[in-house]
A and B are shown apart, each in its own frame.
Chain A
Amino acid sequence: MRFLLKKLALYAFIAWAALTLNFLIPRLMPGDPVQVLIAASEGQLTPEAAEAIKAQFGITDDPLLVQYLAYLGDLARLDLGVSLSHFPVPVSDIISGAMPWTLGLVGVATVISFLLGTGLGVLLAWRRGTWSDHVLPALTFLNAIPYFWMALILVLLLAVTLGWFPYAGGYDRTMFPELALPFIGSVLYHAALPALTIVIGSFAGWVLQMRNMTVTVLGEDYVSMAEAKGLPRRTVLFGYAARNAILPSITGFALALGAVVGGSMLTEVIFNYPGLGYTLFQAVSAQDFPLMQGLFLIISLAVIAANLIADAAYVVLDPRTRQGA
């Protein structure tokens, strides 16, 4: 379990780095956001809001360390400050309202895309040297399409032209959010197109990686031996080749997840989907710095948690990491 403990320590450190980065960014970036905001408001900022900004940015003249400790104390109490654009709603309330939407949409779409892409990658590797090789350039093209443009095209085709799907929102606005079938149906119906965007935008990357890795592994002696053993083709392909080829995909999860999260945020913006990405976009447009930072922090922590899960899965899949357990 030393592997997992080391990873845990690393992620704890990364989480701390994210917290600290979040603290430092407004203090180190050129320009003073507080002055920018107060100037931009042209006197329309209520005195309470002005105070809130000051509180958020620690406009006390305390030394940096005191401000930092106060910041950590606030975080420990889950106090992320007060939103400026939705004054005086606490940032944590806005985030907890947006969180389930993103977790549901991006989480499910990412899992589908990973499974679909990995499966297809194995298939293409097995059939290499045939027609399947001609699929590669097409997949490369698909992989390079910006998410938001893909979303635009899908909206044009499936929502505007054909009218099969709604093109904005998380659910039918005429409905009251409740745990009832019609509402859940409406949520799924609204999530279909954004989810499709994320899946189409990201699965090609998994396919290409898995194909290359499986092709490499198919040349290994243990695959030849499995074949020589007279095992059924399915066992050779999945029990030996794919079983080994998937390991780098899981190690590369961190890198891929970053791209998926970024792309998903843009997808949410296009669909006005009430998740974290759309909220972040609104916060940036409204120069709502406390909300912006709270969102950055939460998204980072969620990605860190996802990486930790991927590493735990790696430990299960690769016995070599369990050495010295």
Chain B
Amino acid sequence: MSISTLIPRSGKVRAGLAIVVAFVVIAVVGPFIARYDPNQTSFDMLEPPSGRHWLGTTQTGQDVFSQFMTGARTSLLVGLVAGVVSQVVSVAVGLLGGYLRGVADDLLYILTAVFLVIPGMPLLIVLTGYLPSRGLLSIAVVIAITSWAGSARVIRAQTLSLRNREFVEAARGTGESRARIMFFEVLPNMLPLVASGFLFSVIGGILAEAGLAFLGLGSLTTTSWGSMLYFAQNSQALLSGAWWWYVPPGLAIAVVGAGLALINFAIDEYSNPRLRTGSATRPGRSGRRAAAAVAAGAEAELSGVAETLAENDSPAGPGNDETAERTAAHPEFDRADEPELAPCLRTSPMPGSPIIEVDSLRVDYPTAFGTVHAVQDVSLTLRRGEILGLAGESGSGKSTLTNAITRLLRPPAEVAGGSIVYRADDGTPTDLLRLEDQGLRALRWNEIAVVFQSAMNALNPVTSIRAQFDDVIRVHRPGLPPARRTEIAGEHLERVGIPADRIDAYPHELSGGMKQRVAIAIALVLEPDVIFMDEPTTALDLLVQRDVLDQIVRLREEYGFAIVFTTHDLALLLEISDSVAVMRRGHLVEYGPARDLYREPGHQYTKNLLSSLEELGSLA
């Protein structure tokens, strides 16, 4: 990692860093450049800002600018100490509880809950009310005591999810001590959380100190922004219009707080790429859209591309920085950066009239590092009742292709060229790419339904199965009475082998296989012409997979809909599909009837795939 990657690209984060650095400098050198002793009174009482007193004077003639500069040190120092102490406590409590589990965890959890729920400020006020002398340090410690709980809870949850990962298991296996595992294996993996917790503790500390000082409960012999506000309020500065006295300290607190929170944006976006917004990349419209690339959930696809480019076998992870670095070397890269053999496209001799025609489709992902051509010049024809298998490794562009057809592409991915035509029963063509909102909604599910990749996430977890049948029937068949809607939903559940009385179940009450069947039943409910199935069986265990597959094939016979079946499992496709399309790096490399493709694969890539399947014994 070079220095340049340490400079944040996001404007928000840069602004935040600039603010915080500026105030830290003020806190360090401020007391030296203050022109007066902050407590020194004079006869220049309540003077507005002038050349002599840059920020005017107080009621007793003290120089507000000098107080402001001196106060910065106190406020930031209390915030810093409170932040450090509070974060040390929350890391210790969260890490111990989450890692040790059992009774220790239960006790620490309850302790955390107590401090989380009991309101901090009243406790703080009561505690400081009893403090015999109020030094800055004791105030910072009391603030920390009342503020560590929220962060401890977050760290505990993260520890729980990390403690069973492979690298922790491995460390346990090699006999590392528990303390070493906790602090050298687990802790480094949640530094973003700790850093974010620290930033908010510092903000909380600064705010709490200001609040206490404002109530007259701080160390009033030391000048801080809070004590300035206390004296301003007590001397009726508000009513006498001495804005220069109370505006600067309050504004400074808000600006420092905002600066720290802006830095936190970087941490948030690092750990949750979906949150990224525009300003993170190069200026201009395309840059802005590009930055949201990752936001749209395209990151897997994109890093897949980068992996292929780098000819790296390691699995595509969420390491966006890595991806960024690698792709940065290819400002405008093309997926076919090595000589490709000519694709082998055989005209499909399938019977039946065409229902979806894709012609020379191109889909681009503009990113900060150049445009990724995720789908290039793909042409396909799906006929009524046909099962089209779409194969390819992850990042090959197959999901981008199906998302383009179903109009589910998320920005910034955009169709750069080509056409997609849907043909109704009577052959009337509809240009899917030009379809407006209203027309698109009417076509969806009526004609084209989708079964999503992972059944676990395709159903809304907080509403019942009935509600998820009901909304789609109600929208597309507005005349039906509720009882009839329930009846239809029940019928379709029975079709996929689920008793109709499970209709009031929630998704979490069903097994993985049942959830996938429910998703298929919902897809069938309006009897569409085409169903897109994106790896519908991958997440299921083998026996259930077989069951679901048989069901799909049987239902296709019964209803006669066409299927576009996406998977990386070529053996499976050869078994169930009428025709097969193989994608690689955005290109269609092989397309034709399944039987021909199996007998004499035309493209080297397909040959390699098939021979590796044979070695594994997958093709009997």
Identify the A interface with B (CB < 8 A). 10-11, 13-14, 17-18, 21, 25-26, 29-31, 33, 36, 128-129, 133, 136-137, 140-141, 143-149, 152-153, 155-156, 160, 212, 215-216, 218-222, 224-232, 235, 239-240, 243-244, 247, 254-255, 257-259, 261-263, 265-266, 269-270, 280-281, 284-285, 287, 289, 292-293, 295-296, 299-300, 303-304, 307, 317-320, 323
Contact B297 A219 (CB under 8 A): yes
Give bound CA distance, A13 to B111, whole Å.
10
B462 an interface residue at 8 Å Cβ cutoff?
A: yes
Contact B275 A212 (CB under 8 A): yes
B179 an interface residue at 8 Å Cβ cutoff?
A: no
Contact B277 A129 (CB under 8 A): yes
CB-defined contacts of B406 to chain A, threshold 8 Å: 228
Q: Closest residue of chain A to B288, judged by CB?
A: A129
CB-defined contacts of B12 to chain A, threshold 8 Å: 136-137
CB-defined contacts of B207 to chain A, threshold 8 Å: 144, 146
Contact B257 A144 (CB under 8 A): yes
Contact B274 A216 (CB under 8 A): yes
Q: Closest residue of chain B to A132, judged by CB?
A: B277
Evaluate whether A230 and B472 lie within 8 angstroms (CB atoms) in the complex, with A148-B229, A155-B238, A257-B119 already known.
Answer: yes
Contact A25 B122 (CB under 8 A): no
Evaluate whether A224 and B277 lie within 8 angstroms (CB atoms) in the complex, with A149-B250, A266-B215, A303-B119 already known.
Answer: no
CB-defined contacts of A235 to chain B, threshold 8 Å: 471, 475
Contact A152 B261 (CB under 8 A): no
Q: A-facing mask of B228-240, CB < 8 A → 1, else 0? A: 0100010000110
B258 an interface residue at 8 Å Cβ cutoff?
A: yes
Give bound CA distance, A258 to B458, whole Å.
36
Q: A-facing mask of B550-561, CB < 8 A → 1, else 0? A: 000000000000
Give bound CA distance, A219 to B274, whole Å.
8
CB-defined contacts of B458 to chain A, threshold 8 Å: 221-222, 225
Contact A293 B258 (CB under 8 A): no
Apart from A228-B444, A230-B443, A292-B126: 9 A-B pairs, beta carbons within 8 A: A29-B130, A129-B295, A160-B239, A216-B272, A220-B457, A224-B450, A224-B452, A230-B442, A289-B129
Evaluate whether A137 and B118 lie within 8 angstroms (CB atoms) in the complex, with A152-B238, A323-B508 already known.
Answer: no
CB-defined contacts of B418 to chain A, threshold 8 Å: none
CB-defined contacts of A11 to chain B, threshold 8 Å: 117
Q: Closest residue of chain B to A149, judged by CB?
A: B250
Contact A296 B122 (CB under 8 A): yes
Contact B255 A141 (CB under 8 A): yes
B345 an interface residue at 8 Å Cβ cutoff?
A: no
Give bound CA distance, A232 to B127, whole Å.
54
B218 to chain A, nearest CB (A): 12
User: A-side binding surface: helix, strand, loop or mixed?
Assistant: helix
Contact A317 B475 (CB under 8 A): no
Contact B120 A258 (CB under 8 A): yes
Residue in contact with A10 in the complex, picked from B110, B446, B522, CB distance below 8 Å:
B110
CB-defined contacts of A261 to chain B, threshold 8 Å: 119, 121-122
Give bound CA distance, A212 to B458, whole Å.
21
Contact B129 A146 (CB under 8 A): no
B463 an interface residue at 8 Å Cβ cutoff?
A: yes
CB-defined contacts of A133 to chain B, threshold 8 Å: 277-279
CB-defined contacts of B250 to chain A, threshold 8 Å: 145-146, 149, 152-153
B593 to chain A, nearest CB (A): 29
Contact A152 B445 (CB under 8 A): no
Give bound CA distance, A232 to B438, whole Å.
9
What are 19 contact pairs spanning A and B, CB under 8 A? Answer: A31-B131, A129-B278, A129-B295, A141-B254, A144-B203, A149-B253, A152-B233, A155-B238, A215-B275, A219-B296, A221-B454, A221-B458, A222-B460, A228-B408, A230-B441, A254-B117, A258-B116, A304-B117, A319-B508
User: Would you list the 10 A-B pairs with minimal beta carbon distance, nearest first?
Assistant: A144-B257, A262-B121, A149-B250, A230-B444, A31-B132, A29-B130, A141-B258, A221-B457, A133-B277, A145-B254
Give bound CA distance, A176 to B180, whole Å.
69
CB-defined contacts of A265 to chain B, threshold 8 Å: 121-122, 125
CB-defined contacts of B124 to chain A, threshold 8 Å: 262
Contact A269 B215 (CB under 8 A): yes
Q: Closest residue of chain B to A298, judged by CB?
A: B122
Evaluate whether A320 and B215 lie within 8 angstroms (CB atoms) in the complex, with A136-B277, A296-B126 already known.
Answer: no
Q: A-facing mask of B381-421, CB < 8 A → 1, else 0? A: 00000000000000000000000001010110000000000
Give bound CA distance, A258 to B460, whole Å.
32
Contact B475 A231 (CB under 8 A): yes
B573 an interface residue at 8 Å Cβ cutoff?
A: no
Residue in contact with B119 in the complex, picked from A36, A160, A299, A320, CB distance below 8 Å:
A299
Residue in contact with B408 in the complex, picked from A25, A152, A224, CB distance below 8 Å:
A224
Contact B258 A140 (CB under 8 A): yes
A182 to chain B, nearest CB (A): 27
CB-defined contacts of A269 to chain B, threshold 8 Å: 215
B155 to chain A, nearest CB (A): 14
Give bound CA distance, A25 to B118, whole Å.
14
Q: A-facing mask of B318-350, CB < 8 A → 1, else 0? A: 000000000000000000000000000000000
Give bound CA distance, A140 to B508, whole Å.
36
CB-defined contacts of B255 to chain A, threshold 8 Å: 141, 144
B422 an interface residue at 8 Å Cβ cutoff?
A: no
Contact A300 B122 (CB under 8 A): yes
B130 to chain A, nearest CB (A): 4
Contact B254 A258 (CB under 8 A): no
Give bound CA distance, A300 to B12, whole Å.
37
A155 to chain B, nearest CB (A): 6
CB-defined contacts of A146 to chain B, threshold 8 Å: 207, 210-211, 214, 250, 253-254
B461 an interface residue at 8 Å Cβ cutoff?
A: yes
B476 an interface residue at 8 Å Cβ cutoff?
A: yes
Contact A14 B454 (CB under 8 A): no
CB-defined contacts of A160 to chain B, threshold 8 Å: 238-239, 241
B526 to chain A, nearest CB (A): 9
Give bound CA distance, A128 to B442, whole Å.
26
A199 to chain B, nearest CB (A): 17
Contact A128 B118 (CB under 8 A): no
Give bound CA distance, A129 to B277, whole Å.
6
Contact B211 A262 (CB under 8 A): yes
A282 to chain B, nearest CB (A): 10
CB-defined contacts of A10 to chain B, threshold 8 Å: 110, 113
Contact A244 B254 (CB under 8 A): no
B585 an interface residue at 8 Å Cβ cutoff?
A: no
Contact A258 B119 (CB under 8 A): yes
Q: Which of B128-147 contact A (CB under 8 A)?
A: 129-132
B459 an interface residue at 8 Å Cβ cutoff?
A: yes
Q: A-facing mask of B442-485, CB < 8 A → 1, else 0? A: 11111011101110011111111000000110011000000000
CB-defined contacts of A320 to chain B, threshold 8 Å: 461-462, 506, 508
Evaluate whether A243 and B215 lie within 8 angstroms (CB atoms) in the complex, with A17-B118, A144-B261, A145-B254 already known.
Answer: no
A236 to chain B, nearest CB (A): 10
